[in-house]
Chain A
Amino acid sequence: MQGIFKLTALLPFLPFLAFALIVLWANRDKKLSAGLAIGGVGLSWVLGWAIAFTTFGIEGFGEHPFRMFRDWLPTGRTWQAFGFAVDPLAAAMLIMVPFVCFLIFVYSVGYMGVGKPESEHDERGAPAEPGHVDRLASRFFAYIALFATGMIGLVLADNLIMLLIFWEIMGLCSYLLIGFWFARKYDDPKQITPKEAGLKAFLTTRIGDTVMLAGIFLLYVQTKSLSFADIFRPEMLEHLATTTVNVPLIGVTPWATVIGILIFFGAIGKSAQFPLHVWLPDAMEGPTPVSALIHAATMVSAGVYLAIRTFPLMQAVPHGPALQFMAFIGAFTALFAATIAVAQNDIKRVLAYSTISQLGYMFAALGIGAYVAATFHLLTHSFFKALLFLGSGSVIHGMEHGHHHFELPIADCGLADPHSTAHNPKSEIRNPKSFDANDMRNMGGLFRRMPRTAWTFIIGGLALSGFPIITAGFWSKDEILSDAFNGHTVVFVTLALAALLTAFYTARQIVMTFFGKPRTAAAEHASEHDSIFAWMTVPLMALAVFAVAGGWVGIPREFPVLGALSTNPFHHFIGGLAEALEIHVEELPFDSVPLLTSLVVALGGLFLGWLVYRKARPAGHQVEEGEYMASPQQFVDPLARPLGGLYKVLQNKYYFDEFYHAVFIRPVQRLATWLYRVDDLWVIDPIVDGVGKLWRGISEAGRWLDTHIVDGAVNGIAAVIGWCGGFVRVIQTGKAQNYLLVGLVTVSVLLGAFLLLPK
């Protein structure tokens, strides 16, 4: 029975094989590429479940996790291992990760239009016309297969080096996939393009990664090992918690705290927590399956996973600053992002802020020591958030189909300006100004037209808001709230407020999208009858099942009535690992206050949202009853007037993008321009000219002197000036030799310093 563990290493390898085969061989055939990607991750899924279910049957698995590793990378006198490990945490993730990947891959077949003909209007790297296949669909499947490698490998990593490798693979895939439609451009120069969004995501997460790398270095210096099993030995944690370092401005701090906070920064970047949250909403420029896979279900939760993995380190100093910091960041982000989500109109951006908020929930839970609850919420959230994203993708496609089928016939009848549509359907459809299929203000009444999408989306929405008893989100959120209620009042109140807002914006989203009357012709003609929707709605239904039933494994035993039926297997399973790591977890006694709170915030929020938005419609005097809106601006949000200026602030996301642009990006640009000027206009050239003139004068006056000496001196000076110029100009000349010179200078100066400086 245990033999199956030997196959662990295959899990990340199978999607990687699919990636390699697509890139090297199958990329001309889009169907084959899709088949390879789905096959690779499908095998991983089956194998992953087999391994995970085997571990559920093993008593005391937490104390004796499975490890396989081989020395791989010599680092001085120690070796870094290449290895995988399966422990309860990894097994729980194995239930979720390959399965969700598999479903999203299947969904992508429909979303990318695999099997449809190519459109001759389509440009490479731009979204395809409705009813056509994306020109780069093979590349898409290669990327997501590589991504699956990254995520599965990260979950199974046995040490921090492995974790870092897979972490960066995911970062790369995230960049490539956000910018997948790299040729897409918008009329509005302020609107961020996919290319820019990819860059933004990559650079923003890089800040967190760099800090995390510093933490990993320090950890290695202190422990001489990066293997989780070594680091989390009680002696080692004791050592880390007792040895201290004098941090400037802060004072004497234990190493465990310093390293914990530094590593947590990696999680902040990856999971888009405040203050590095700005990249995630813009990451929605990527294709929707990517948003579901990377920016909702897996990669962003890798940050939380990292924090859960390194939790023993964080709590080596019990209730220390590392945990407090985490709780603060998490709770703050949970509330902060939820408020922004209330005022967004893009269906995907609402979900993006909701993701940020829910990830904040998990960090807050970890920060107050709710190890099991955080893990639980991580898993349930992945299911229902992936469901919501995929549902939104289905809605967007439905809207595009409606728009497409509606616009063309009208143009043919000569009702519309023929220049804008019939002769150039491409620009009509592509031109985002003309129609934004993501904008919820353009929707309404989609429930009748897309029933399968609507039902599953509503189930996902209810799970997100924590609809009592039946949905998974209720059980995981309730567990976090009851942990928080037990002595962390501030966190409890913050999280309860965030939960209220969550339910509110979810209701707003559902009502605006699916109910009321269609506000545009596209919404009126939206449908899910095309063959691609068969690929897209089946994964939705599978995820909907998990969004509901996924919570039943974690029903607390103390819960009234239902608790009697439950053995709370999840808590038991993860708790075994926690005990082995000497993390203190216990099932709390039942308390009615947090339960009532979560009931009230979920139901109250949903009800409020419904109440406010059920009558929302385009402003009366501009659009007659039963007519369509000319532009989304005509839809007036019912909250806009009562909230006034605050609504605008929320809509602009508290102006964080503008703030970062003004404080970080603009000054750097200015500095670069200024340095360029200093170099070329003000300093170097005048000096060269001046010195040259001066010396020419002297040499002409003293021609009778030895010409060679003077010439030599002129050349010498010119050379000196040239060197200086070379130094300054070395930045960004594009010439490889200049760059290499920087390396030469650095190495020789560093070596010289090494030689001269006292040891």
Chain B
Amino acid sequence: MQPVIFALLALITLGAAAMVVTTRNLLRAALWLILAFFGIAGIFILLNAEFLAVAQILIYVGAIATLVIFAIMLTRNMMDPSQPRFNEQWGVVGGFAALLFVVLAAIVTRVTWPVAAGDVPADTIQRLGSDFVGPYVVPFEVASVLLVVAMVGAIIIARERE
């Protein structure tokens, strides 16, 4: 059963992602992006990372995608359909992105990963929380400072100047 779900989710995610980068209308691209985020959240659930899946939906869909849509709407003629979608180097980029995918896929399938099967502990979320305020407290605090700085910075940058 799981492989089927995986295949389905992968299809949704990759398809939506492909639409994100190719659609002419930016607003539609943002909506496709939301679908891709949902697909990734499904992958996380498949990997037994339920908390992360919820965080993914809350942050990416709830915040980032919304922000993107707002930005698009604030700068309306950004989605002028007469504008070309891609810059002039898109052909090269496409070629090399495909090459990169082939190479990466070849590498990840060839390497023997140190797979260690194990059951997911029941108290994942509890552990996550205690790790954040335990061994990872410094990065955690730095991340919170980063968020504050980003917030202040965003306000200052986007503020209208006389």
Contacts and interface: CB of A to CB of B under 8 A. Distances in A.
Contact of A751 (B91, B92, B107): B107
B88 A748 contact: no
Interface in A702-759: 719-720, 722-723, 726-727, 737-738, 741, 744-745, 747-749, 751-752, 754-755
B91 A719 contact: yes
Given A751-B103, A755-B106, A745 B89 contact: no
B89 A747 contact: no
B34 to A, nearest CB: 25
Nearest to B104: A751
A529 to B, nearest CB: 48
Contacts of A754: 107
B106 A741 contact: no
B55 interface: no
A748 B96 contact: yes
Contacts of A751: 100, 103-104, 107
A722 B88 contact: yes
A737 B89 contact: yes
A737 B103 contact: no
B21 to A, nearest CB: 13
A741 B100 CA distance: 12
A633 B99 CA distance: 67
Interface in A296-349: none
A568 to B, nearest CB: 49
Contacts of A719: 91
Nearest to B110: A755
A720 B95 CA distance: 11
B96 A745 contact: yes
A23 B101 CA distance: 45
Contacts of B107: 751, 754-755
Contacts of B100: 744, 747-748, 751
A744 B103 contact: no
Interface in B15-54: none
Interface residues of A, number: 18
B87 interface: yes
Contacts of A755: 103, 106-107
Contacts of B92: 722-723, 726-727, 741, 745
Contacts of A748: 96, 99-100, 103
A738 B93 contact: no
Contacts of B87: 737
B100 to A, nearest CB: 4
Interface in B86-133: 87-89, 91-93, 95-97, 99-100, 103-104, 106-107
A749 to B, nearest CB: 8
A737 B100 CA distance: 17
Nearest to A724: B92
Contact of B89 (A720, A726, A749, A752): A726
A726 B88 CA distance: 8
Nearest to A716: B91
Nearest to B93: A741
A737 B90 CA distance: 10
A723 B89 CA distance: 6
A616 B125 CA distance: 87
Contacts of B106: 755
A737 B93 CA distance: 10
A749 B88 CA distance: 21
A720 B87 CA distance: 14
A218 B119 CA distance: 44
B97 to A, nearest CB: 7
A741 B89 contact: yes
A719 B86 CA distance: 13
A754 B106 CA distance: 11
A498 B92 CA distance: 61
Contact of A752 (B88, B97, B103): B103
B156 to A, nearest CB: 15
A745 B91 CA distance: 13
Contacts of B93: 741, 744
A727 B91 CA distance: 12
A119 B100 CA distance: 60
Interface in B58-104: 87-89, 91-93, 95-97, 99-100, 103-104
A751 B100 CA distance: 8
Contacts of B97: 744
B128 to A, nearest CB: 23
Interface string A50-83: 0000000000000000000000000000000000
Residue in B95, B100, B107 whose Cβ sees the most chain A Cβ within 10 Å: B100
Contacts of B89: 722-723, 726, 737-738, 741
A65 to B, nearest CB: 30
Contacts of A752: 99, 103
A426 B143 CA distance: 50
B153 to A, nearest CB: 15
Nearest to A746: B96
Question: Which of B87, B89, B93 has the most chain A CB atoms closer than 10 A to its own CB?
Answer: B89
A751 B103 CA distance: 7
A736 to B, nearest CB: 11
B96 A741 contact: yes
A82 to B, nearest CB: 14
Interface in A678-698: none
A747 B103 CA distance: 10
A630 to B, nearest CB: 53
A303 to B, nearest CB: 36
Nearest to B106: A755
Nearest to B88: A722
Contacts of A747: 100
Nearest to A748: B100
A754 B110 CA distance: 12
A747 B97 CA distance: 10
A737 B88 CA distance: 11
Contacts of B99: 748-749, 752
A726 B106 CA distance: 28
B148 to A, nearest CB: 15
Nearest to B97: A744
B74 to A, nearest CB: 22
A145 to B, nearest CB: 23
A231 to B, nearest CB: 31
B87 to A, nearest CB: 6
Contacts of A726: 88-89, 92
Nearest to A753: B103
Nearest to A720: B91
A745 B100 CA distance: 9
Contacts of A745: 92, 96
B77 to A, nearest CB: 22
Interface string A583-605: 00000000000000000000000
A745 B103 CA distance: 12
A256 to B, nearest CB: 37
Given A741-B96, A744-B96, A722 B91 contact: yes
A720 B89 CA distance: 10
A727 B92 CA distance: 9
Contacts of A749: 99
B104 to A, nearest CB: 7
Nearest to B98: A748
B92 to A, nearest CB: 4
B40 to A, nearest CB: 22
Interface centre among B93, B103, B106 (most CB of A within 10 A): B103
Nearest to A718: B91
What are the 7 tightest A-B residue pairs by CB atom distance, in nearest-first order?
Answer: A748-B100, A719-B91, A723-B92, A726-B89, A751-B103, A748-B99, A752-B103
19 contacts: A720-B91, A722-B88, A722-B89, A723-B89, A723-B91, A723-B92, A723-B95, A726-B92, A738-B89, A741-B89, A741-B92, A744-B97, A747-B100, A748-B96, A748-B99, A751-B103, A752-B103, A755-B103, A755-B107
Given A755-B106, A755-B107, 14 more contacts: A720-B91, A722-B89, A722-B92, A723-B92, A723-B95, A726-B89, A738-B89, A741-B89, A744-B96, A745-B96, A749-B99, A751-B100, A751-B104, A752-B99
